[in-house]
Amino acid sequence: MGQSKYSELTFQTIVESIPKSIELVNPEGKISYANKQTERLFGYERVELIGKPVEILIPERYRTQHQSFRTMFFQAPSVRAMGVGRELFALKKEGTEFPIEIGLNPVITVEGTLVLASIIDISERKKAEERFRLVVESAPNAMILINREGLITLVNQETEKMFCYPRNELVGKKLEILLPERFRAKHPGYRDSFFSAPSTRAMGVGRDLFGMRKDGTEVQIEIGLNPIGTDEGTMVLASVIDITQRKIQEATLIKQNELETKNKELETITYLASHDLQEPLRTVSNYIMAFQEDYGDQLDTLANKYLQTIDSAAKRMSKLVKALLDFSRLGKDRKLVLANCNQIVKEVLTDLENLTKTTDAVIEPIDLPTLNAYETELRILFQNLISNAIKFRKENTKPHVRISCEKQLNQWLFRVSDNGIGIEPQYFERVFYIFQRLHTDEQYGGYGIGLANCKKIVELHQGKIWIDSSLGQGSTFYFTIPFLKHE
């Protein structure tokens, strides 16, 4: 008897010292004992609990079901957690609910088998979990929580967007569902290696990483790994970024840099070649002139005709070389300034006064803007378009050139329209390439470089140029100039 009393006191001492709520419950579901922590947790005095059904501590909506669970436990008592896989709630005296975890232990006594229920208030843990979920959900990257077995336990909305899966099709699945087939076999080994020495680090440093969407398409990614301690053991939180566009931009930038380098080399070669070609052409022209002066009276008509042909070809070649030299120099020393287009066109018309008078051309600029542009190049652009419109006029028709502009969302759209001979659609692209001509010298003189200059100038302004025309109905040249900021 004394030993039994001693054991009971020992049991009470141990139970009272446990920082958890402890209750003993008999097969009838009555509370036989409750410790001090139970009083603190539920707000009851223990005298209010002893002899009462344990359901007094359970929200009303769970009570009927709880009785059947209790009966099942006493039929096969064992040490286990209660409500595995379910969220459990308890009820305080004042009526508020809170989340709990319960451990059940059968205890053999002289009164029969009782159950020792150990109850933990997990409110703070739940709040922490909710804060964690909110942080993960609000992250701008795809966030995936994976356990040691490689199962996905949590994903955010960005993961759904990136991989095109609803989260219910991801949670509980192996992470390999998001990997291309060729990487799946090796991935478990990488995962085991990480869990053997977990640390915050980037995944696959020095390697190109790819994920796979639900539809089977691949996305290039970067991944940051962060070990997270949980009640279920260490997990890894993977932060995933789609870098497909970045990679495309990097490749484009590399190509642009390569192209710029080649263009600079080509410009240098063109400049040197054009400059060096002028001297021998001048020499040819000078010797032809000297030959005609010294020996012209000794040559017959055919020989003089040959000399004139050679001289004409040399002079034409010299002009072509100069045009090529001007083309290569175009934009080299450009300076962005506030340019008045009305004033620029007025100055161009002064330069073309002789041409406009001899052809009775009518040039009609309509309320052109003042804008940031490369003024010298812009003057050349208007001069080429206006002189072209006059040159390619119809017989017995006075040239009429109309220049207008409208402001769009982030650019200016210019139109230069004429009533000339027009251009067939199949030549719309060709006319903008250097030395591309649609007519012979006998029909219309020129070197096929004016519109190539126009295209280069517009592109220097980061704009575009194109044509709308019908043969015999005139042409309209369109070009855009974005709103440029001073460099």
pLDDT digits (tens, 9 = 90+) for 188-247: 888 888 888 888 888 766 678 899 999 999 999 989 899 988 877 899 999 999 888 888
CA distance 374 to 6: 102
Whether the predicted pLDDT of 278 surpasses 80 = no
Q: What is the mean pLDDT of residues 287-296?
A: 79
Q: Helix, strand or coil for residue 229?
A: strand
* Contact present, 115 and 24 (Cβ < 8 Å): yes
Q: In Å, what is the CA distance from 355 to each residue of 9, 34, 277, 387?
A: 121, 111, 31, 8
pLDDT tens digits, residue range 158-167? 999 999 999 9
**Dihedral sign from CA coordinates of 370, 373, 376, 382:** negative
Helix H or strand E segment including 405 = strand 400-407
Give the burial class of 292: count Cβ atoms within 10 A of its Cβ; 0-12 exposed, 13-18 middle, 19 or more buried: middle
pLDDT of 409: 87
pLDDT of 453: 83
Q: In Å, what is the CA distance from 467 to each residue of 271, 311, 426, 427?
A: 30, 37, 11, 10
Residues found in the chain: 487
Q: Can you tell me which residue has the tokens 């006319």? A: 431
**Dihedral sign from CA coordinates of 56, 60, 62, 64:** positive
Which residues are 154's β-sheet partners?
145
Give the burial class of 71: count Cβ atoms within 10 A of its Cβ; 0-12 exposed, 13-18 middle, 19 or more buried: exposed
**Dihedral sign from CA coordinates of 455, 456, 461, 464:** positive
pLDDT tens digits, residue range 449-486? 778 888 988 998 999 999 998 888 889 999 999 998 76
Full 3-state SS string of 420-450: CCCCCHHHCCHHHCCCCCCCCCCCCCCCCCH
pLDDT of 286: 82
CA distance 23 to 39: 11
Residue, of 357 and 448, whose pLDDT is higher: 357
* Contact present, 132 and 153 (Cβ < 8 Å): no
pLDDT of 368: 94
Residue, of 274 and 185, whose pLDDT is higher: 185
Q: Helix, strand or coil for residue 378?
A: helix
Whether the predicted pLDDT of 369 surpasses 80 = yes
pLDDT of 440: 46
User: Would you give the DSSP letter of residue 335?
Assistant: -
Whether the predicted pLDDT of 108 surpasses 60 = yes
Whether the predicted pLDDT of 324 surpasses 50 = yes
Which residues are 401's β-sheet partners?
363
Contacts of 180 (CB under 8 A, 6+ apart): 210, 211, 212, 218
CA distance 365 to 359: 18
pLDDT tens digits, residue range 128-138? 878 888 888 88
Most confidently modeled range among 207-216, 247-256, 282-291, 428-437: 207-216
Q: Helix, strand or coil for residue 46?
A: helix
* Contact present, 24 and 116 (Cβ < 8 Å): yes
Q: What is the mean pLDDT of residues 319-345?
A: 75
Please report, rounded to a whole number, the percentage of residues in the chain having pLDDT higher than 70. Answer: 86
- pLDDT bin (cut points 50, 70, 90) of residue 445 is very low
Please report, rounded to a whole number, the percentage of residues in the chain having pLDDT higher than 90. Answer: 33
**Dihedral sign from CA coordinates of 97, 98, 100, 104:** negative
Per-chain mean pLDDT for the chain: 84
Whether the predicted pLDDT of 437 surpasses 60 = no
CA distance 263 to 366: 37
Alpha helices per DSSP H over 237-369? 244-295, 301-329, 341-351, 353-359
Per DSSP bridges, beta strands 233-242 and 142-146 are antiparallel
Per DSSP bridges, beta strands 112-121 and 21-25 are antiparallel
Radius of gyration of the chain (CA): 44
Of 107-111, 229-233, 275-279, 405-409, the least confident: 275-279
Contacts of 182 (CB under 8 A, 6+ apart): none
Whether the predicted pLDDT of 268 surpasses 50 = yes
pLDDT of 75: 86
